[in-house]
A and B are shown apart, each in its own frame.
Chain A
Amino acid sequence: MLKVAGLKAGYGRTQVLFGIDLEVRAGEIVTIIGANGAGKTSTLRSISGLTQIYAGEIEFKGRPIKGLPPEEITRLGLAHCPEGRQILQRLTVEENLLAGYIPGRGRSFDEIRTQVYDLFPILRERRHSLASRMSGGQQQMLAIGRSLMATPDLLMLDEPSLGLAPKIINQIFEIIIMLSKSGISLIVVEQNAAVALEIADYAYVIDAGRCSVEGGAHNVLNDPDLKAAYLGA
């Protein structure tokens, strides 16, 4: 589905990624964990075409996507749900969904919207509310719903549990599993590494812009050194 090789990237003169290799196979949930500032978000941003890439290759569904504009990458079926949700606060729920819709991927707005509303009934209930009036958990659901409007084959979620109540975090992770079961491949970046590793198949640990460890998510979860470093246990 996605292959990243030797990725070096940054912002202007500030390099933040020093050689990232990672792969997402069709149907997988892959998680990226690491300390703050390690380069997790920058990795996602690079894949989406939002950083300056100095070297390396990015291949999505067998096609090189490095250097393509972000909207073109989304159109190919790679959606990015950014950290901090980035909801359009002054628009309604439904207008936010419309903003995420990409025509020409074979499905009508109404059709996908119905699917998103089935997945998040609260969004249907509040479809005419201003996004700014929604709680944090509802806004996160809206952000995920908006990404789904692009009918992605691969969805990248950056810190989906940030600032949410424990109960809502459970719901979000349940939704991630449902999305996976519906055939979407996922990359999940999380501070909440313990739960992310519970639901993921494969994990990459990023440290100072490099991939330091990778492996089956449960093996990462149960490794004593990694546990001490990233799970605080």
Chain B
Amino acid sequence: MALALENVSKHFGSLVAIKNLSLSFDVGSIYSIIGPNGAGKSTVVNMIAGSYSVTSGTIRLGNTALNKLPKHRIARLGVARTYQNLRLFDAMTVLENLEVCFFPQAWPGLLTGAKRMGKAERLAICRACLDRFHLSEVAESLAGDLPYGRQKMLELARAFVTEAPIVLLDEPAAGLNHTETKDMAAMIASLKRADRAIILVEHDMDMVMSISDRIDVLNYGELLCSGTPELVRTNEKVQEAYLGTTEELDDIRKLAQSRRAQGGLRSNAGLVRH
């Protein structure tokens, strides 16, 4: 199954957020959409998931045009997503947060031909999923009580529990520290499967570069560059618009040094362990 955007545009009033964008995503790969803040990355995710309408163009999943469908229908067709800001049900348990994905009907039936799912079966799937995402021991905790890193993991689990063939991840690493980001990257990489496309919007370049098969770079609503991590990393236009150049980092270091050189600060103080 493939997801395709064909000449898609999105206008907000006079603002052109996405301009004639064509992209296609096949199952079996991990894709990253990157680009400056305001480039239109989240808009793309929101259009695919049906949260935003498209101004012109078509979004197709297989042969089905998605862009006239309400978002719950799109979800049932097999498009799952996470949000930039967590959207968990804080007052429900971790397990219940997964279970809700199977209401009002067990939609995997649409793909597999299986009939409506019973509670026992549903719970078994959810528990197996929690196990997979290392959340079993907190299954009965309230989602709102989990530390942030685990909430992010639960949000991820919820996007995968229904075995959706298209999974959209909006900034899975945002707010995570280095170690948590590495764990998150390893988890996402391990979820790559022949019958699933994973599409992420992300600013953490270590994650993006290490797990993506293809990276699409957006700038001002248009495709600036698309290709392997190596190709994107070395593309001058991408460095200029988004990644920042090594010269810029050097400039910051120099600025910091010249500031410290004025002296009188504790920059050279030794380490004290308490």
* Chain A positions near chain B (C-beta within 8 angstroms): 25, 27-28, 35-37, 133-138, 159, 162-170, 173-174, 177, 180-181, 191, 193, 195, 198-199, 201-202, 210-220, 223, 229-232
Give the complex CA separation of A202 and B203 in angstroms: 27
Residues of B contacting A218 with CB < 8 Å? 267-268
Q: Which residue of the partner chain B has the closest CB to A135?
A: B38
Report which of A163, A170, A193, A217 forms a contact with B249, defined as CB distance below 8 A. Answer: A170
* With known contacts A166-B242, A177-B259, A230–B265 Cβ distance under 8 A: no
B269 at the A interface (CB under 8 A):
yes
Could you say which of B61-69, B155-163, B250-258 contacts chain A?
B250-258
Interchain Cβ contacts under 8 Å between A and B, 27 examples: A25-B265, A27-B264, A35-B179, A37-B148, A135-B36, A135-B37, A136-B38, A162-B174, A163-B171, A163-B174, A163-B203, A164-B203, A166-B205, A167-B242, A167-B244, A170-B249, A170-B252, A173-B252, A191-B177, A198-B252, A198-B256, A213-B273, A215-B269, A216-B267, A216-B269, A232-B178, A232-B179
* With known contacts A174-B255, A216-B266, A36–B149 Cβ distance under 8 A: yes
Report which of B36, B175, B273 forms a contact with A36, defined as CB distance below 8 A. Answer: B175
Give the complex CA separation of A177 and B257 in angstroms: 10
Please give the distance in Å from B214's CB to the nearest CB on chain A: 19
B118 at the A interface (CB under 8 A):
no
Please give the distance in Å from B141's CB to the nearest CB on chain A: 15
* With known contacts A36-B147, A135-B36, A210-B274, A219–B177 Cβ distance under 8 A: no
Report which of B36, B181, B268 forms a contact with A216, defined as CB distance below 8 A. Answer: B268
The reply to whether A199 and B256 contact each other, CB–CB distance below 8 Å, is yes
Count contacts on B: residues with CB < 8 A to the other chain: 46
B180 at the A interface (CB under 8 A):
yes
Give the complex CA separation of A198 and B250 in angstroms: 11
* With known contacts A35-B177, A201-B266, A216-B269, A137–B147 Cβ distance under 8 A: no
Give the complex CA separation of A162 and B135 in angstroms: 25
Please give the distance in Å from A232's CB to the nearest CB on chain B: 3
Q: Which residue of the partner chain B has the closest CB to A228?
A: B179
The reply to whether A193 and B266 contact each other, CB–CB distance below 8 Å, is no
The reply to whether B175 and A168 contact each other, CB–CB distance below 8 Å, is no
* With known contacts A36-B180, A135-B38, A163-B84, A28–B270 Cβ distance under 8 A: no
Chain B 71-85 against A: per-residue CB contact (8 Å), 1 yes, 0 no?
000000000000010
Q: Which residue of the partner chain A has the closest CB to B182?
A: A232
B189 at the A interface (CB under 8 A):
no
| From B36, B177, B259, residue with most partner A Cβ within 10 Å | B177
Report which of A35, A165, A177, A220 forms a contact with B252, defined as CB distance below 8 A. Answer: A177
The reply to whether B149 and A174 contact each other, CB–CB distance below 8 Å, is no
